[in-house]
Structure 1
Amino acid sequence: MRIAVFGATGLAGRAIVTEALARDHAVTALSRRADAAASSERLTVHALDVAEESTLDPVLADADAAVLTIRLAPGEEHRLAPLSRGFLDAAARSRTRVLVVGGSAPLRSPDDPARLVLHDPRRVPEAWQAVAQASLDQFRVCQAHAYAGWTYLSPPAVLAPGARSGAYRRGGDTLLTDARGDSHITAPDLAIAVLDELENPGDARHFTVAQA
């Protein structure tokens, strides 16, 4: 499979590229500060700004699937939703399947199914509100878009560096927690879930994962 990873130098993006290459896929890794010299036999590295929508078309047209996993600088979070809309516009033109690695804010709280994680202060403290709101806005953009070729993966409350255990739990639209009430996963294990979904797409348009 030819997979384009947008946001390839981020925490999740790097792990997704590594997992995809380990599974013998051809990967195009894209980010604003990419080093083309890092390209290899099955890895093509390009510098690209998702905000420049016209540059997306040739990359998406050459991919079987695309992963959008971008994070913006503090104060720029409000740009995530319109950037995602433009990305889906481009994906619609090429009919490229898109997996968006977003945020946990659109999930339901495990403590109160009527409440989104965004509105659960135990899960999203005040300092994280802007980032969380941006991920909910991004999810709403996906829901409202005319192109149906997208899937939205909400990570658990904490996505962190760590070892690849080789296992994860998959859920629906409710935040997954462990026996202590924690919600977390390492980036390499999240990447396993991403590649599993790309290789064998499920029926859900929105799902979450957590550490096994």
Structure 2
Amino acid sequence: MATIAVIGANGTIGRRVVSEALSRGHQVTAVVRNPAGYTPPSPDVTVVAGDVLDPEDVARVAAGQDVLVSAVGGGGGNGEGHAALIEPAARALVEGLRTLGGAAPRLIAVGGAGSLETAPGVRVWDAPGLPDWLLRTMHAHGDAQEYYNTVADVRWTVLSPAATIEPGERTGGYRTGTEQLVTDAEGASYITTEDYAAALVDEIETPRFTGRRFTVAR
């Protein structure tokens, strides 16, 4: 059993990560900005307040945990408001964990698909016709990824989703990649939030991508 704190536990992805981790017997702390407005899926979940943009808050909620999951900035609605916090959140997460030194938990952050390659030198965000709000979110995740790539003193992993991620069935099946978008035989790239959460908790239980980014799709 691992102790896992999930920042952004009230979001679309965060809720699935909390439920998936609970279903496997892990001890979960849900970190949200407003605990009064959050109903955990089980009384076994500890709920605390925390601000992902405050390194002191990050250090406080991370202390004593095995893993810190950041599900902040995963999107929602039309993405407005998310892009501006993605890269600053990455910096605050690392800064906060650094203050814990060797006692810092491993960090697993929800990433974006925009910077994944679809062909040599071509990325998802290069596709024509993408709306401005989506491009802003994609590039913000790309900036955060560039920052994480410079970090060597904190154990981190970024999990990028498929090109399309939405609530659906949990199958527990998925394929992994690293810097290239994972697609099926028809060229589609898809994952449910439930299978994404399963992949994230799988990485908690059996680390394979420490210090790097990986991606999943069905």
SS of corresponding position for 1:42 = coil
Whether contact under 8 Å (1:60, 1:66) holds in the other structure is yes
- Counterpart among 99, 104, 109 of residue 108 in structure 2: 99
Whether contact under 8 Å (1:106, 1:154) holds in the other structure is no
Q: Percent identity?
A: 37
Q: Distance in 2 between matches of 1:144 and 1:207?
A: 16
What is the match of residue 3 of structure 1?
A: 4
Whether contact under 8 Å (2:161, 2:196) holds in the other structure is yes
What is the match of residue 215 of structure 2?
A: 208
Whether contact under 8 Å (2:82, 2:137) holds in the other structure is no
Compute the TM-score of the two structures, normalised by the length of structure 1.
0.89
Compute the displacement of 1:116 (Å): 2.1
How many residues align? The count is 208
Compute the displacement of 1:50 (Å): 1.1
Q: Distance in 2 between matches of 1:135 and 1:108?
A: 14
2:170 is the alignment partner of 1:169: no
Q: Distance in 1 between matches of 2:171 and 2:80?
A: 31
Q: Distance in 1 between matches of 2:203 and 2:30?
A: 18
- Counterpart among 58, 67, 70 of residue 69 in structure 2: 67
Whether contact under 8 Å (1:85, 1:145) holds in the other structure is no
Distance 1:116 1:22, change over 3 A: same
Q: Structure 2 regions of 5+ residues with no counterpart? A: none
Amino acid at match of 2:4: I
SS of corresponding position for 1:15 = helix
Q: Distance in 1 between matches of 2:144 and 2:159?
A: 12
Q: Structure 1 regions of 5+ residues with no counterpart? A: none
Aligned-CA RMSD value: 2.0
Q: Distance in 2 between matches of 1:140 and 1:192?
A: 25
SS of corresponding position for 2:135 = helix
Q: Distance in 1 between matches of 2:108 and 2:182?
A: 20
SS of corresponding position for 2:214 = strand
What is the match of residue 58 of structure 2?
A: 56
Residues 79-118 of structure 1: matches in 2 within 5 Å?
Answer: 79-94=85-100, 95-109=104-118, 112-118=119-125
Runs of 4+ residues over 6 Å off in structure 1: none
Compute the displacement of 1:42 (Å): 3.2
2:145 is the alignment partner of 1:139: yes
Amino acid at match of 1:118: W
Compute the displacement of 1:89 (Å): 1.1
